[in-house]
Each structure stands twice: as structure tokens, then as C-alpha cells.
């Protein structure tokens, strides 16, 4: 008795047609998991649930449908107000690095930049301050943070919005972002769930003869989806996230927003998620069947720029309940899930109204299309930036990764003659807003503080590197010469005086664009930047390279003897120039660490984008055949040399690691499988109990203050199933130490940290045998190794 809409029926037919071919393959279909679990208020949400219940009891069926369906309005996503109940509606806004659809707001460092800081406190603070701005602009839901794409492929067009291809670092960054965001009373939205690792064919397309070519299907085995892709989402749920956005792609043939295995199964049962699942914009492809599979809210609802059609939700829900094809109890659960976080975060207690100025920046919904009246009576053009530039500058600097520093090039010591080169050094020339509905924005001139698409921000100003260098040079009395035209700087330096050979330092600024909707087709820097570096380094024996980039760049010039230093500064947000100058001059000691691996060569990566030509209707099959071997897990497993490994980053000082000790916290009473316990948000609570403490001492042995990141990697015993990565990050901390200072650091390893996902038992299992615990300063700079047998 399941109602399927026309399109869902079509999908079912397609899926059946493909079945024979798939059963023989190594990937299957997502197993069905029904019915959709009711929320119960677990994890401290009980009294908010009671308020949601009281609210629900006053709704008509039409209003219930309206509560779970987007409607045209002032925000990126809107749930209609119900004035009778004093409910002003819900406003959902982008995004992860600041309020995009707003004026007088800040642009914060991007996700990859935040991850490169490896700093829990700064990541939390970034969450809190972005959230303060969105809240002050009237948003109830901040559409972030981003876990996926986590960066399975270094080419992923949105990797920069998220954190890291390492699930542990990614999960920590998700949890701290969410706690920061929700600490100011706005709902976070963990996205994009799940297996969303490429832009290419993320949505269905129409073939030349009018047939639907389905979106890419991420075919992921059970162990991999647990140990890599869903790990950070479990952390997000554990951190109390209010909502989860399902993604555009399919998983094992079934669209992510109607996949009962991942939504009902993993998210709502295994992780005990109590909030609501909302669709990515236009990612809903069915009504009742999506609802029964666990989707709770359709966005943007009745009109969408990706699918200009009426909603599968809305009125269809009312009709489906009335004709008996959808249980009203399920709709009630959807409404409870939507309203419980609202009450939990006290959003019913005098929340700011939507800033009317947002309306003018809304490309989705012109006011003429609104059906409901939203409260726009608040002050317009509110300046919500506060003192957030301080954190932006600090996090930007703290996240800069120093990859090379030879000949004592850095920090700069009163250079008399400075050369600045490259089209990333100067001011923006085409606009302060990189969002275009055609996803363009990769302009030749101007520094790149962020990428494009829905995860971008609206700058009120930018500090270009050149401006910050000039300001600093003025204090020092240095002479700054510059050529920002890459072609000119690569071919003709004759205008310089003194000439390039006599400059004290040549700073080359390079950039790499990435945007939603497109994957990168190269890992080189853009705009012929490699040629530019070669040209400058041919004349200047102290060439310092800075990249502003979406993520991985191969760096063919890294071994050039005249390239004395290299910085990966990623996308630092509006204080870009100040952040880099702080580090160049040593006011801030660099302490960023790579949240991914830089290979020697582009062809060394094992995970390209799937890019087909003349594809058939169901041909976009992205088989995650590398399974767990993503990023450093692969390079370690294959024993391949890399240019700069995961976790790498230099400092202006040196650190040592004292001896390592292991303490058995569990007291020798450990079982291989977690004791059965009622699930709390995040999963079985036993998974998160600390079982081992690993302690060491970190000392600053150099002559300047600085921060470092000790890292703990776990190597599993040989009893684990094949293709287990040799070591996996399971602990890190960021410590700031003055010269000579030492600090003791303890990493608590939880049961989950030392388990693998046992596909037979459908449980996290601690393997028999001896583990190797590796403590070091990068994934390959291991200083101490100890063995331990938790089950012996
Ligand atoms: C993906 O895996 C399926 C099943 O094993 C196989 O039939 C198909 O050819 C693979 N597709 C690609 C692009 O490798
Ligand atoms: C995809 O299929 C594989 C192989 O049958 C299975 O192990 C895995 O659980 C499925 N994953 C999802 C998300 O359905
Ligand atoms: C959810 O609760 C309703 C009552 O509100 C009940 O009818 C339904 O069976 C429950 N569903 C599940 C999956 O437990
Ligand atoms: C129900 O959903 C279908 C598919 O989006 C749409 O064409 C139809 O107009 C909807 N009906 C109502 C009453 O909203
Ligand atoms: C019930 O309503 C839905 C939603 O509009 C419709 O698609 C479906 O055909 C109806 N089913 C029956 C059995 O009338
Ligand atoms: C906004 O203010 C106008 C005029 O004061 C009032 O009529 C209207 O009801 C207010 N709108 C809301 C949604 O509060
Ligand atoms: C950049 O330099 C090249 C080579 O000198 C020149 O042809 C081109 O016009 C310059 N571009 C701009 C925008 O000045
Ligand atoms: C670099 O060039 C400068 C100026 O020509 C010279 O003084 C210096 O010794 C050179 N440094 C190295 C390491 O070759
Ligand atoms: C995919 O192929 C198209 C057409 O050949 C090309 O334009 C595009 O850049 C490719 N995408 C990637 C990510 O390589
Ligand atoms: C390094 O720079 C010097 C000028 O200081 C130049 O003579 C030399 O050729 C450069 N080396 C390389 C490998 O380009
Ligand atoms: C990178 O690998 C490709 C293909 O294997 C090879 O042609 C190229 O020379 C390599 N480049 C470098 C810099 O090693
Ligand atoms: C493990 O480390 C934590 C955090 O430092 C500490 O509170 C706890 O007492 C330690 N447990 C044991 C058994 O040493």
C-alpha cells in the first residue's frame, strides 16, 4: 500500500531493469529499513519534545504538511508562519563560512582552512561567530557545517566547504562547529548525507532524446560507509545537531533523500538522530516513498531553481493522508522532529526577525512569488559583524601551513627590497561577491578568499595580501614593487629596479578556484602559476610562494632551490592579507597542518572523478573500490612516497615529544563487542567510553613561542579484515608553548577508536591481538611507537 509518485515509480522500474546486472557485481542495493523511527527526545530533548507536541496538537493536517514543506519567502529556505500560534516561520540560510544572502556580514575562513588549524577552540569559535551573524539576521537554521564532500577525490569542487578526508579530524571539526553554532541558539545542519563526493552528474540530466540520465550512484560497501563516510555524521548527531541535509547523489542506486537504509537505518536507528532530515535544494524525487524512507522536510519546496515543479510534499501530503496511503503518525513525527530543536534552542522566545535587506539578495524567490506573509518588520541592513574580524584574522593565520622553509628565509627580517608577484596578490576587481547562478567567478585579478556557489559569502571588504604587505613595509621602510599580471611577471621583469636578482624576497601569490557544481579538472594552481614561480625563481634566489586554494595542489616547483618557502593558506576569508603578513613576519608562528596529503604527482592519487561521455541512463556508477584507502590511508598502504604528508606543517621553532605511556582505563574488562545499551544520539554510548589513555609530554625546544599538533595514529592488529589502513588518526591536540615550556597531553582512545566495523556482526568490534600506537608530529613523522593488546 505504498504510494509512489510517477517519478519514483519510474525509478523503481529503472532499478528493476538494472537489477540483474547489479546482483552479480560486488555492490548491492541499499537494504530496505522500515518503518521510519519516531523520535523520543533522547539526549535531553524531552521537555522540548513536550512543547513540540503541544504545538503539534493545535495544527490542522494542512498546517502539518506546510510545516515540512518549503515555500517561497525571504530566505534560502522558508517554512511558512502560522500567526494564529505566534509562530513566525523558519528561515534557513547559507552557509558554512558566513551569512551569504545578507549585507554587513563577515566572511570567515572556509572549512578546509578551519580544519588546517587543527584547533578545536578556534573551530568552535568560528561556528559561534558565524552563527551569531546569521541569528542576528533572523535565520533559525544555519546550513552547515559541511562534512561531505570530505574529499575522497582531491578534485572535488566543494571539498573546501568541508574539512578533511580523514573522518576523525572531520568528525572533531563537525562536532566543535555544531556545538559552537548551537551555543548561540541557532540550529546547525550537518550536510551532505551521504556519499556525496563529486559534483559531476550530482543531479540527473536529460539525454538528447528526452530521457532521464540518473544522478551518480555512490556505491559504498558497508564497512567503508561506517568507518569513513558516516563517522563524522555520528559525531554530529552526538554533538546534538538539529538537522541533517540529505544529498543529491544516489547510494547503491537509491537517491540519498529516499534511501531508507541510510536515513531510517543508519541515521535514525543506529545513531539515534532526533532532529529532522531536510533535502538538499531540489534533491527530493518522491513524496510518500521518500517520507517513509525517512525524509522529514522538502526544500526549497514548491518552487525550486533546480526543479521548477510543485513539491512532492505540501498538498500531496494532505491528500495522501486523506486517501490512506500515508499514516498521519508519520507526518506527526516529521513535525515533532522539526519543532523540537526549535523549542530546545528557545527560538520561540523572542527571536530576531529576518532582515528585510536579505530579500533583495534572494535569487530564488522574488517577493512577488511569496504565498505567505513573513514578518519583515525588523530593522533593515543590520550590521552584524561585531568584532569578528579578530577571530577571522587569528584563525586565518593559525591555519596557514608552512610547507617549506630553507636558507632561513622566514620569518622575514626587515627586508629592504620586496617583490610581490601574481594575480592573487591584489584587490578583487570583478566584485566582492563570487556567487553567480552560472557558477562563474574565477576572475583573473584579485585574491581568492573563498570559493563559489552556495557556500560562498558576501564580502563587505577584503584585505588583499598586497595591501597588508604595503602597510607593513611602510612601518619598516621597505620598498615594495609588484607585478600582478601573471603573463607579464612570467615573461618580462625588466621594469623592476633594483632588478629581481637583487630583491631580498620575492613573494609569489597563486590561487586555485573551486565552486559548487563543478569538479576541478586539474590539481595545478590556476592561471599558469607554475610557470610564474619558475620565472620568478629563475632570477630571485629567495622566492616565497603562497597559495590561496580550494585544497590539494601539486607543487612541481617545491624542490626548486630558489623557492625557499611555501605556504598553503587555503581560503582564509576577509582578513586574508593580515593573516599571511602576521605569519610572514613571525608575529604569528605558523602552526597549520595539512588536513590531506600532497602527492608528488597528480597521477599518484587513486580516486579520480567519474566523468563519462555518452552515458546511458544508469551508467553513472561511482564504485568506491578504494574502500577505506582514502588519502593517507592509501599512500601508507601502498607504501608510496608523497611530497607533503597528511598532518604535515613546519614552525619557526622546534618541538620534542617525551616518552609515551599507555594506561588501561577500562581495567582489563573489555569485551570485543560493545555491551548492548540503549542508543543515545551518536550511537551506543559504550562506543564513546574511553578505554585507553595515551600520555606524552610536548616541549618547545626552540627559541620562539609557537603552537604544535601532536598526533596519535592507531595501527590495528593483523587479525582485522584485509585492506585496513596501516594507521589511522585517533587523537590530536593543539598546544601553544613558550621557549623551553613543556606540557603533558593525554589522548583518550574510545572503544570506537580501536574498533573496526564488523559487517557480519553489524557492530563495532575490537580486534584480537596487538595494536601499534604511533605518536608523532605528522602521519609520517612518528616519534614513539608502543604496542598494546586491549583484549588480552
Ligand atoms: C561498478 O561496479 C559494478 C558492479 O560491480 C560494475 O558492474 C561496474 O562496471 C562498475 N562501474 C565502474 C564504472 O567501474
Ligand atoms: C551498498 O551495497 C553494499 C554491497 O552490497 C552493502 O555492503 C552496503 O551496505 C550498501 N550500502 C548502502 C548505503 O546501501
Ligand atoms: C510512531 O508512533 C505512532 C504513534 O504516534 C505509532 O502509531 C507508530 O507505530 C510509531 N512508529 C514506530 C516506527 O514506532
Ligand atoms: C504532487 O507532486 C507532484 C510531483 O511534484 C506535482 O506534480 C503535483 O502538482 C503535486 N500536487 C499537489 C497538489 O501539490
Ligand atoms: C493518494 O494521494 C496521492 C497524493 O496526491 C496520490 O498521488 C495517490 O494517487 C492517491 N492514492 C490513492 C490510492 O488514491
Ligand atoms: C508588521 O507591521 C505591520 C504594521 O505595523 C503590521 O500590520 C503587521 O501585522 C506586522 N507583520 C507581522 C508579521 O508582524
Ligand atoms: C598582461 O601582460 C601581458 C603580457 O605582457 C599583456 O599582453 C596583457 O595585456 C596584460 N594584461 C593586462 C590585463 O594588463
Ligand atoms: C641570493 O642572492 C643575493 C643577491 O644576489 C646574494 O647576496 C645571496 O648570497 C644569494 N643567496 C644564496 C643562498 O645564494
Ligand atoms: C569532464 O569531462 C568534460 C567533457 O570532456 C570536461 O569538460 C570536464 O572538465 C571534465 N570534468 C572533470 C572534473 O574533469
Ligand atoms: C637562482 O637565482 C639565481 C639568482 O639569484 C640565479 O642565478 C640562478 O640561476 C637561480 N637558480 C635556478 C635553479 O634557477
Ligand atoms: C607524473 O606522472 C605522469 C604520468 O605517470 C608522468 O607523465 C609525469 O612525468 C609525472 N610528473 C612528474 C612531475 O613526476
Ligand atoms: C585518562 O585521561 C583523562 C583525561 O586526562 C583523565 O581524566 C583520566 O583520569 C585518565 N584515566 C586514567 C585511568 O588514567
Residue-wise pLDDT for 332-383, tens only, equals 999 999 999 999 999 999 999 999 999 999 988 888 888 899 999 999 999 9
Q: What angle do CA 464, 446, 475 make, to 5 degrees?
A: 25
Helix ranges (DSSP H) in 184-302 = 222-224, 231-238, 260, 288-293
Q: 501 C-alpha vs ligand 10 centroid, how far in Å?
A: 8
Give residue 26's pLDDT band: very low, low, confident or very high (50, 70, 90).
low
Same-domain pairing of 291 and 330: yes
Compute the half-sphere exposure of residue 707: CA atoms within 13 Å on the CB side of its CA: 25
Helix axes 315-322, 328-344, angle to 10 degrees: 140
Q: CA–CA distance from 244 to each of 236, 443, 504, 585, 693 (Å)?
A: 9, 33, 51, 42, 32
Whether residue 181 has pLDDT greater than 80:
yes
Which of 557, 580, 596 lies at the terminal end of a domain, its last residue? 596
Ligand 5 centroid to 326 CA: how many Å? 9
pLDDT for 7: 27
Q: Three cell numbers at 732?
A: 590530536
DSSP 8-state class, residue 775: E
pLDDT band (50, 70, 90) for residue 308:
low
**Rounded Cα–Cα distance for residues 409 and 9 (Å):** 65
| Pocket of ligand 11, beta carbon within 6 A | 556, 601, 603
- Cβ–ligand 3 distance for 328 under 6 Å, the answer no
Q: Give domain status of residue 620, yes or no.
A: no
Q: Same domain for 580 and 496?
A: yes
Return mean pLDDT, the chain.
94
Instruction: Provide mean pLDDT across the span 168-189.
Output: 99
Report the length, in residues, of the chain: 792
- Give yes or no for residue 605 having a pLDDT over 70: yes
> pLDDT-derived band of residue 472, with 50, 70 and 90 as boundaries?
very high
Please report which residue ranges of 120-230 form alpha helices under DSSP H. 120-136, 167-183, 222-224
**Atom 8 in ligand 10: which residue has the minimum CA distance?**
538
| Ligand 1 pocket, residue 57 CB under 6 Å | no
Q: What is the mean pLDDT of residues 525-551?
A: 98
**Span from the CA of 318 to the centroid of ligand 3 (angstroms):** 19
Question: How many whole angstroms from 376 Cα to the centroid of ligand 6?
Answer: 8
pLDDT of residue 438: 77
Partner residues linked to 786 by β-bridges? 773
How far apart, in whole angstroms, are the C-alpha atoms of residue 12 and residue 18?
10
**Pocket of ligand 4 contains residue 316 by CB under 6 Å:** yes
Indicate whether 144 and 280 sit together in one domain.
yes
CATH value at residue 709: 2.60.40.10
Lowest mean pLDDT among 21-30, 280-289, 613-622, 770-779: 21-30
Residues near 759 by beta carbon (within 8 Å), at least 6 away in sequence: 221, 222, 223
Residues 418 and 512 in one domain: yes
Measured in Å, residue 699 CA sits from the centre of ligand 7 at 51
Same domain, 505 and 462: yes
The CATH number of whichever domain residue 296 belongs to comes to 3.20.20.300
Q: Is residue 377 part of a domain?
A: no
Confidence of residue 232 (pLDDT cuts 50, 70, 90): very high
Q: What is the mean pLDDT of residues 627-647?
A: 98
Please state, for a pLDDT cut of 90, what percent of the chain lies above it: 92
Least confident range from 406-410, 550-554, 572-576: namely 406-410
Look at the chain and report how many structural domains it folds into.
3
Asked if residue 341 belongs to a domain, the reply is yes
Are 414 and 337 in a shared domain?
no
Residue 320 CA, ligand 5 centroid: distance in Å: 5
Kindly indicate the confidence band of residue 8, based on its pLDDT and cuts at 50, 70 and 90: very low
Task: Report pTM.
Answer: 0.96
Ligand 7 pocket member 490 (CB < 6 A): no
- Residue of 562, 299, 540, 276 lying closest to 420 (CA atoms): 540
Give the C-alpha separation, 412 to 632, whole Å. Answer: 32
Whether residue 5 is predicted with pLDDT greater than 60 in this model: the reply is no
Residue nearest to atom 5 of ligand 7 (CA): 488
Is 625 inside a domain boundary? Answer: no
Q: What is the pLDDT of residues 31-85, one digit of tens each?
A: 899 999 999 999 999 999 999 999 999 999 999 999 999 999 999 999 999 999 9
Pocket around ligand 12: residues whose beta carbon is below 6 Å from it?
Answer: 663, 665, 693, 746, 748
State whether the Cα torsion 670-671-672-673 is positive or negative.
Answer: negative
Task: Let me know whether 591 and 698 are in one domain.
Answer: no
484 and 533 part of one domain: yes
Instruction: Please give the grid coordinates belonging to residue 719.
Output: 587479525
Identify the pLDDT of residue 668.
73
Task: List the residue whose alpha carbon is closest to atom 5 of ligand 1.
Answer: 25
Alpha carbon distance 159, 111 (integer Å): 8
Boundaries of domain holding 87: 2-32+57-365
**What residues are annotated to the active site?**
280
Write down the pLDDT at residue 137.
98
The residue whose CA is least distant from atom 1 of ligand 5 is 320
Residue 791 pLDDT exceeds 80:
yes
Domain assignment of residue 631, yes or no: no
Q: Are residues 401 and 361 in the same domain?
A: no
DSSP 8-state class, residue 28: -
Query: pLDDT digits over 497-533, tens only?
Result: 999 999 999 999 999 999 999 999 999 999 999 999 9
Convert the pLDDT of each residue in 115-134 to its tens digit.
999 999 999 999 999 999 99
Same domain, 708 and 576: no
Taking 50 as the threshold, does the pLDDT of residue 2 lie above it?
no
Asked if residue 380 belongs to a domain, the reply is: no
Residue 615 domain flag? no
Q: From the CB of 329, is ligand 3 less than 6 Å away?
A: yes
For residue 85, the model assigns a pLDDT of 97
In the reported structure, the alpha carbon of residue 220 is separated from the centroid of ligand 2 by a whole-number distance in angstroms of 6
Going by DSSP bridges, is the β-strand pair 728-732/711-715 parallel, antiparallel, or unpaired? antiparallel
28 lies in some domain:
yes
Compute the average pLDDT of residues 594-601. Answer: 98
Q: Pick 29 or 472 by higher pLDDT.
A: 472
Q: Find the angle CA(781)-CA(786)-CA(788) to the nearest 5 degrees.
A: 140
Ligand 8 nearest atom to the CA of residue 501, by list position: 5
Mean pLDDT of 286-307: 86
Q: Is the pLDDT of residue 307 over 70?
A: no
Asked, as a colleague might, if the bond just before 192 is cis with ω within 30 of 0, I would say yes
Judge whether residue 441 has pLDDT over 90: no
How far away, in angstroms, is 338 Cα from ligand 2 center? Answer: 29
pLDDT for the residue numbered 609: 98
488 close to ligand 7 (CB < 6 Angstrom): yes
Q: Can you tell me the distance from the alpha carbon of 460 to that of 381, in angstroms, rounded to the nearest whole number?
A: 12
Looking at all shown ligands, the one closest to residue 534's CA atom is 10
CATH of the domain at 411: 3.40.50.1700
Three cell numbers written together for 708: 604544535
Q: Pocket residues for ligand 10 (CB within 6 Å)? A: 501, 537-539, 541, 561-562
For position 701, what pLDDT does the model report?
98
Which residue owns the Cα nearest ligand 1 atom 14?
A: 623
Q: How confident is the model at residue 21 (pLDDT cuts 50, 70, 90)?
A: very low
**Does position 256 have pLDDT exceeding 50, yes or no?**
yes
Together in a domain, 774 and 662: yes
Our mutation pick for probing the ligand 3 site, out of 36, 329, 333, 337, counting the most ligand atoms within 8 A of Cβ, is 329
CB of 485 shorter than 6 A to ligand 7: yes
With CA atoms as reference, report the closest residue to 373 among 75, 88, 85, 61: 88
Are 413 and 288 part of one and the same domain?
no
What percent of the chain is predicted at pLDDT more than 70? 96
Atom index in ligand 9 nearest the CA of residue 519 equals: 13
DSSP string for 519-565? --S-SS-STTHHHHHHHHHHH-SSEEEEEEESS----TTTT-TTEEE
Query: Cβ neighbours of residue 789 under 8 Å, at least 6 residues apart?
Result: 717, 769, 770, 771
Please determine, for residue 1, whether its predicted confidence score (pLDDT) is greater than 50: no
Cell of 141: 537554521
| pLDDT score for 363 | 85
CA 792 – CA 788 distance, rounded (Å): 9
Amino acid at each position: 500500500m505504498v504510494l509512489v509518485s510517477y517519478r519514483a515509480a519510474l525509478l523503481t522500474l529503472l532499478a528493476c531493469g538494472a537489477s540483474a546486472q547489479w546482483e552479480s557485481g560486488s555492490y548491492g542495493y541499499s537494504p530496505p529499513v522500515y518503518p521510519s523511527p519516531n523520535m523520543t527526545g533522547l539526549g535531553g530533548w524531552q521537555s522540548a519534545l513536550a512543547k513540540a507536541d503541544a504545538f503539534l496538537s493545535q495544527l490542522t493536517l494542512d498546517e502539518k504538511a506546510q510545516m515540512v514543506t518549503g515555500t517561497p519567502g525571504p530566505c534560502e529556505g522558508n517554512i511558512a508562519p502560522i500567526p494564529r500560534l505566534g509562530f513566525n516561520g523558519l528561515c534557513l540560510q547559507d552557509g558554512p563560512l558566513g551569512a551569504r544572502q545578507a549585507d554587513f556580514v563577515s566572511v570567515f575562513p572556509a572549512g578546509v582552512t578551519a580544519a588546517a588549524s587543527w584547533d578545536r577552540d578556534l573551530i568552535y569559535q568560528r561556528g559561534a561567530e558565524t552563527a551569531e551573524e546569521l541569528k542576528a539576521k533572523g535565520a533559525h537554521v544555519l546550513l552547515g557545517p559541511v562534512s561531505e564532500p570530505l574529499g575522497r577525490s582531491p578534485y572535488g569542487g566543494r571539498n573546501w566547504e568541508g574539512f578533511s578526508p580523514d573522518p576523525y579530524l572531520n568528525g572533531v571539526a563537525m562536532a566543535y562547529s555544531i556545538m559552537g553554532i548551537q551555543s548561540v541558539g541557532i540550529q546547525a545542519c550537518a550536510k551532505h548525507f551521504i556519499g556525496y563526493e563529486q559534483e559531476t552528474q550530482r543531479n540527473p540530466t536529460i539525454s538528447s532524446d528526452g530521457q532521464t540520465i540518473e544522478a551518480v550512484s555512490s556505491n559504498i560497501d558497508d564497512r567503508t560507509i561506517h568507518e569513513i563516510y558516516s563517522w563524522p555524521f555520528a559525531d554530529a548527531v552526538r554533538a546534538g545537531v538539529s538537522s541533517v541535509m540529505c544529498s543529491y547523489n544516489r547510494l547503491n542506486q537509491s537517491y540519498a533523500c529516499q534511501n531508507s537504509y541510510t536515513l531510517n537505518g543508519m541515521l535514525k536507528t543506529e545513531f539515534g538522530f532526533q532532529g529532522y532530515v531536510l533535502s538538499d535544494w531540489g534533491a527530493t524525487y518522491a513524496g510518500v516513498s521518500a517520507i517513509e524512507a525517512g525524509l522529514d522536510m522538502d526544500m526549497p519546496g514548491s518552487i525550486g531553481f533546480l526543479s521548477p515543479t510543485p513539491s512532492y510534499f505540501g498538498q500531496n501530503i494532505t491528500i495522501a493522508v486523506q486517501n490512506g496511503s500515508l499514516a498521519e503518525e508519520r507526518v506527526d513525527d516529521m513535525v515533532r522532529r522539526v519543532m523540537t530543536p526549535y523549542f530546545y534552542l528557545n527560538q520561540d522566545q523572542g527571536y530576531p526577525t529576518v532582515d528585510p535587506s536579505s530579500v533583495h539578495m534572494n535569487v530564488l524567490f522574488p517577493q512577488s512569488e511569496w504565498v505567505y506573509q513573513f514578518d519583515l518588520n525588523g530593522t533593515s541592513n543590520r550590521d552584524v559583524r561585531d568584532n569578528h574580524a579578530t577571530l577571522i584574522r587569528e584563525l586565518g593565520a593559525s591555519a596557514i601551513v608552512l610547507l617549506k622553509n630553507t636558507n632561513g628565509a622566514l620569518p622575514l627580517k626587515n627586508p629592504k627590497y620586496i617583490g610581490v608577484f601574481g594575480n592573487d596578490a591584489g584587490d578583487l576587481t570583478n566584485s566582492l561577491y563570487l556567487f553567480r547562478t552560472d557558477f562563474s567567478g574565477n576572475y583573473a585579478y584579485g585574491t581568492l578568499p573563498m570559493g563559489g556557489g552556495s557556500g560562498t559569502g558576501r564580502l563587505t571588504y577584503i584585505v588583499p595580501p598586497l595591501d597588508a604587505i604595503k602597510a607593513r613595509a611602510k612601518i619598516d621602510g621597505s620598498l615594495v614593487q609588484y607585478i600582478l599580471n601573471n603573463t607579464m611577471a612570467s615573461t618580462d621583469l625588466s621594469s623592476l629596479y633594483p632588478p629581481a636578482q637583487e630583491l631580498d624576497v620575492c613573494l609569489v601569490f597563486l590561487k586555485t578556484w573551486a565552486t559548487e557544481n563543478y569538479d576541478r579538472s586539474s590539481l595545478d594552481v590556476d592561471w599558469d602559476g607554475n610557470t610564474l614561480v619558475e620565472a620568478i625563481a629563475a632570477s630571485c634566489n629567495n622566492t616565497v610562494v603562497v597559495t590561496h586554494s580550494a585544497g590539494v595542489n601539486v607543487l612541481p616547483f617545491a624542490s626548486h632551490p630558489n623557492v625557499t618557502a611555501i605556504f598553503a593558506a587555503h581560503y582564509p576569508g576577509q582578513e586574508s592579507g593580515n593573516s599571511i603578513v602576521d605569519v610572514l613576519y613571525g608575529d604569528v608562528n605558523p602552526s597549520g597542518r595539512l588536513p590531506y596529503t600532497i602527492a608528488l604527482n597528480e597521477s599518484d592519487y587513486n580516486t579520480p572523478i567519474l566523468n563519462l561521455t555518452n552515458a546511458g541512463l544508469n551508467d553513472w556508477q561511482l564504485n568506491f573500490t578504494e574502500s577505506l584507502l582514502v588519502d593517507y590511508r592509501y599512500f601508507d598502504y601502498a607504501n608510496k612516497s608523497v611530497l607533503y604528508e597528511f598532518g604535515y606543517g613546519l614552525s619557526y621553532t622546534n618541538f620534542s615529544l617525551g616518552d609515551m605511556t599507555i594506561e588501561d582505563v577500562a581495567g582489563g574488562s573489555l569485551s570485543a563487542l560493545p555491551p548492548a545499551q540503549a542508543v543515545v544520539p551518536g550511537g551506543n554510548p559504550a562506543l564513546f567510553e574511553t578505554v585507553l589513555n595515551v600520555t606524552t609530554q610536548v616541549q618547545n625546544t626552540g627559541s620562539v613561542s609557537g603552537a604544535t599538533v601532536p598526533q596519535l595514529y592507531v595501527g590495528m592488529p593483523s587479525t582485522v579484515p584485509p585492506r585496513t589502513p596501516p594507521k589511522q588518526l585517533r587523537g590530536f591536540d593543539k598546544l601553544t608553548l613558550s621557549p623551553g615550556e613543556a606540557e603533558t597531553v593525554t589522548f583518550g582512545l574510545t572503544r570506537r577508536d580501536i574498533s573496526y566495523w564488523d559487517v557480519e556482526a553489524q557492530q563495532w568490534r575490537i580486534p584480537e591481538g596487538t595494536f601499534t600506537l604511533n605518536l608523532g608530529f605528522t602521519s609520517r613523522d612518528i616519534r614513539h611507537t608502543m604496542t598494546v593488546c586491549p583484549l588480552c
